Amino acid sequence: MRRREFLAGSLAAGAGLLSAGRLAAAEPPLANAPVPGDAKMPFQQPPLPFAMTALAPYLSEEQLTYHYGKHHAAYFKNLNALVEGKPEANQSLRDVVVASSGPVFNNAAQAWNHSFYWDCMKPGAGGEPAGDFESFRKAMSEAAVKLFGSGWAWLAADSQGKLEIMPLSNADTPLKHGREPVLTIDVWEHAYYVDYRNERAKFVEGFWGVANWPFAAKCYAAAKR
């Protein structure tokens, strides 16, 4: 894979990262074990891929307990109630996200987005990869910090492997725009209010200390298939 085939400008750093051989090692697939006690529901919240305490001091156990255990869980609960007895109950969560609108979309997308987001972080990850990482980090951070209201800062790829930083509001996701998510930062205030109160910029800065580049590399490789 040649870097210049798919990247330009500030995204070159991200591309360098994602094409780096040392990041090519296979990561385990997304965990999909159902949450105990919820087995009858069509959509199951996957377990966190790390312990609630594992991202401290970046994110405290209390912050993750609220974010994963209250906010993320509520989207699954709401979605399951909305699709009960409807065709969507037999579709994959991703297919529901792509095809739905209104409340079903809002809850399905937030369920999917968060499951993806947890995998974008890993205890002991982050670091300063080779290449022009600094300009990519600045651009992605700026997109996250400046996004008005609630939403997500995404790094996404098209089927040709062209990367793009996409700040999207509310539940919106690159899946709705024909792009494959590669990395995301949740900038809903519920993602950081316990640890950072109103200081989104500090929360975004800390993300780079736990960014899961092997996962991003795996998503990027899948996007081009």
Name the minimum Å distance from CB 186 to Fe ion: 4
Q: Are strands 163-169 and 180-186 parallel, antiparallel or unpaired?
A: unpaired
What residue number has its CB nearest to Fe ion? 186
* DSSP reduced 3-state for 132: coil
* Distances in whole angstroms, Cα of residue 20 to Cα of each of 122, 129, 212, 217, 220: 18, 9, 14, 9, 12
Contact residues: Fe ion, CB under 5 A? 186, 188, 191
Distance CA 196, CA 88 (A): 37
Name the minimum Å distance from CB 121 to Fe ion: 12
Task: Please enumerate in sequence order all residues whose Cβ is within 8 A of that of 42, keeping only pairs 6 or more positions apart, or say none.
Answer: 80, 83, 89, 90
Q: Which CB atom, from 11 or from 156, has the smaller least distance to Fe ion?
A: 156
Given a contact cutoff of 8 angstroms between Cβ atoms, the answer to whether 17 and 218 are in contact is: no
What's at 56, amino acid-wise?
A
Name the minimum Å distance from CB 13 to Fe ion: 26
Name the minimum Å distance from CB 76 to Fe ion: 13
Name the minimum Å distance from CB 67 to Fe ion: 6
| Phi, psi dihedral angles at 109 (to 5 degrees) | -65, -40
